[in-house]
Structure 1
């Protein structure tokens, strides 16, 4: 067989079968490089992010530690302030009330500072004001204690003075009680003596009262000529002539004596006209006042003396029985009665 007619491959013009494999390798290398670069970039990015998060975490941790320290410092300052103020209590109720008010204000400031710390705001200046406020409160308490001390000293002094005065007052009261008791005894004795004197005086008055007898009442008609005539008819009577005789009395002193004559009409009324000498005097036996009609006077010489009095009212008398009472020195010394028709 003649093979010369077949087409023989020409190696000079035929493509190299190894080139496609080289291109693929290059592409793979390129892709691998790109992937490596991407992975490297991503790694770097993640590394940076991780670093930043670590930094942020560290910062947060540092911030949290600072907050803890700030809270601890605040608690320490607050507890110290509370302890110092609490130590000031016990002097008096008013001061204790003042301290309680200060503690409430400090607690409010503490709450405000805690808010500043949590919000990462400037709390240092507030902390300084808190400390200053505490010192101011303590200074105020010291000032009040000093004032209380002065007042306590004055109160002690006043208490001593009051005690002295109370002692003096007790002594004075005791002395006054003794004097009052003595005075009461004297008053009682004086009252007894006065009672005895009154009894004796009454007895002397009764004994010295001059009794009378032979009381004679003459109703008369006074004529225009002045002549008097006895009458028994009431319509004819103008005047009453009342005469009596004194009895001897050695107790009574000699001298002028006054006798009070009360004429009582049938109705029980005492005849009296002030302008004609009527009046009021005291009945010592009955211890009451009585109205008298007229008076009669005489010079008494401790024996029998005739005495007369008269009553001319200038008005008509009424019919009936009249009673006559005669008093001397306030005692009833004689009575009588008469009738008018």
Structure 2
């Protein structure tokens, strides 16, 4: 019993404090703030994505713009290479080049302007292709015309050469015919005559000179009236002139004749004589005698007087 009574009494246990409740309005505020934070996070993420997309779009627009500007510059060079000798086409090419330069000055900073850029570029390409077709067609036609022109010039040159050859042949034939048609004299004999028409060779006795000859037969020559001229040239090369100091044409010059006589030619041998009456002094020596008709020399002879 003593042992039981001597045991100490157990210590008193502390009483648990009752929990304080969080006010509902505070919970509502926290929930609201959480929702706002989440919404702002989502919005921020979306904005960041939009910024990234915008940057990518801007970079794409710039890249496309640079590429189009490069193509436009190439188009300007291409238009330059299309210039031809055709002034009308060159003027139209210059107009299109001006359009390209104006387009290059446009600041394509958004998709709408870029679309306009692409549309204009496509139009310019189509126009250039149409010019290429036109110019190719013109070049083809020019080549054809050049070839035709060369062929025509060659043909013309050949015809001119043929005409020249024919002309030369005709001239040769005309020369041959003229040579064949000209008269010729043979048996030309000159003598001095005294006042009684007796032959003399002393100049003191001579009153006239007689030149006799035969006009040869020529079936090619034209028949009809012919004028025969005689030139008697002294040893000192002075021509004994006629009383009328007449002249005739010979090889594009005019010559003095000593005497002349008309002949009615019938294509047969004809004997005839021409007389020169003494009108000036004679000198000793050999006299040269030449006969002419229709612009040709038809025979020569000589006589020596003492």
The two structures have a TM-score, normalised by structure 2, of 0.50
Which residues of 2 match residues 236-247 of structure 1 at below 5 A? 241-247=209-215
Match of 1:263 in 2: 232
Match of 2:133 in 1: 156
The separation in 2 between residues aligned to 1:214 and 1:318, in whole angstroms, is 21
Q: Secondary structure at the match of 2:187?
A: strand
Change (3 A) 1:199 1:130: closer
Change (3 A) 1:297 1:190: same
Asked if 1:298 is matched to 2:263, the reply is yes
How far is the alpha carbon of 1:335 from its aligned partner? 1.4
Query: Where in structure 1 are there 5+ consecutive unaligned residues?
Result: 1-68, 107-128, 222-228, 283-287
Q: Secondary structure at the match of 1:91?
A: helix
Query: Where in structure 2 are there 5+ consecutive unaligned residues?
Result: 1-50, 81-96
Q: State which structure, 1 or 2, has the greater radius of gyration over its C-alpha atoms.
A: 1
Q: Secondary structure at the match of 1:87?
A: helix
Counterpart pick for 1:277 among 235, 239, 246: 246
How far is the alpha carbon of 1:281 from its aligned partner? 0.6
Change (3 A) 1:180 1:101: closer
How far is the alpha carbon of 1:84 from its aligned partner? 2.0
How far is the alpha carbon of 1:232 from its aligned partner? 1.5
Match of 2:184 in 1: 210
Change (3 A) 1:263 1:77: farther
Q: Secondary structure at the match of 2:217?
A: coil
Counterpart pick for 1:93 among 54, 77, 89: 77
The two structures have a TM-score, normalised by structure 1, of 0.46
Counterpart pick for 1:80 among 55, 61, 68: 61
RMSD: 5.3
Contact 2:235–2:287, Cα closer than 8 Å, also in 1: yes
Change (3 A) 1:296 1:144: farther
How far is the alpha carbon of 1:143 from its aligned partner? 4.6
Paired residue total: 229
How far is the alpha carbon of 1:321 from its aligned partner? 3.5
Q: Secondary structure at the match of 1:266?
A: coil
How far is the alpha carbon of 1:93 from its aligned partner? 1.7
Match of 2:203 in 1: 232
Asked if 1:170 is matched to 2:147, the reply is yes
User: 1:196-224: per-residue Cα shift (whole Å, max 9, x none)?
Assistant: 6246415523xx52314353254889xxx
How far is the alpha carbon of 1:130 from its aligned partner? 8.1
Contact 1:260–1:326, Cα closer than 8 Å, also in 2: yes
Contact 1:278–1:292, Cα closer than 8 Å, also in 2: yes
